[in-house]
Amino acid sequence: MITIKSKAEFEIMRRAGRLVAETLEKLRAAVKPGISTGELDQIAYAHITRHKGVPSFKGYHGFPASICTSVNDEVVHGIPSKRRVLQEGDIVSIDCGAIVDGWHGDAAITVAVGHATPEAERLMKVTEDSLYKGVEHAYVGQRIGDVSAAIQRYAEDQGYSVVREYVGHGIGRQMHEEPQVPNWGTPGRGMLLKEGMALALEPMINAGGAEVRVLDDRWTVVTRDGQPSAHFEHTVALTADGPEILTKL
């Protein structure tokens, strides 16, 4: 079922989105060689709870942390750990969700640890830009397929591949609501976009092949070919005036 949000509900989602955006900016500033992903998780937990938010991920299907941290060939759902120390040249995808007054915000960024290679920088840039290509199509009257195809076309034109197993989603009182928003598709196909919908768009783009697998920890998704992957996400409100990114400062 698709939930349609009122203006007042979008106002609460704006606050949840802002808290997620602030948390990610704090984490971006904290990423440096020598910090562990477990420390990043502590920073996120402290910031979210200090501002009366609840981390969306903690306890979600048993997930043990407030953020997901996915390094290099890890695509999504990496579990933060004190033992996972970031090294110069790594890239780390940080996915963060928070609940404020019962409503969710969800966003992700990929950040270089120190200086990344030009190849890794390009992968991150294209993935972020592909997210904005999707946002540009998240207009009332367009269809899900228009958003999906815009993301896919942009990423594949740059020589990258789109992960198929994980997708964007509706969001509101639940972190994951209908509809699913794949990062690939056909223009003009799929559900019609309506005012009051909120969508989390989240391209996961691989430098090599699209294939992924899940590690023995049953969470961490990695690329099959060991090549790096990047992930960017925003929660977007569909208003009569156009798409509004809620997870922005």
Among the residue ranges 36-44, 100-108, 127-135, 186-194, the one whose residues contact Mg ion (CB under 5 A)? 100-108
How many helices (H) and strands (E) are present in the chain, helices listed first?
4, 15
Distance, first Cα to last Cα, the chain: 30
Decide: 76 and 168 in contact? Cβ < 8 Å: no
Q: Does position 177 bind Mg ion by CB under 5 A?
A: no
Hey, what amino acid is at 187? P
CB-wise, 61 or 83, nearer to Mg ion? 61
Binding mask 26-65 for Mg ion (x = CB under 5 A): ----------------------------------------
Binding mask 105-144 for Mg ion (x = CB under 5 A): -x-x------------------------------------
Cβ neighbours for 199, distance < 8 A, ≥ 6 positions apart: 138, 147, 168, 169, 170, 171, 179, 181, 235, 236, 238
Applying CB under 5 A, among 74, 90, 95, 146 the residue interacting with Mg ion is 95
Q: What sign does the CA torsion over 69, 74, 75, 76 have?
A: negative
């023995």: which residue's tokens? Answer: 216
Among the residue ranges 42-50, 117-125, 214-222, 225-233, the one whose residues contact Mg ion (CB under 5 A)? 225-233
CB-wise, 108 or 207, nearer to Mg ion? 108
Among the residue ranges 59-67, 102-110, 139-147, 154-162, the one whose residues contact Mg ion (CB under 5 A)? 102-110
- Minimum distance, C-beta of residue 150 to Mg ion, in the bound complex (Å): 18
Maximum pairwise Cα distance, the chain:
48
- Note the residues at the interface with Mg ion (CB under 5 A): 95, 106, 108, 200, 202, 233
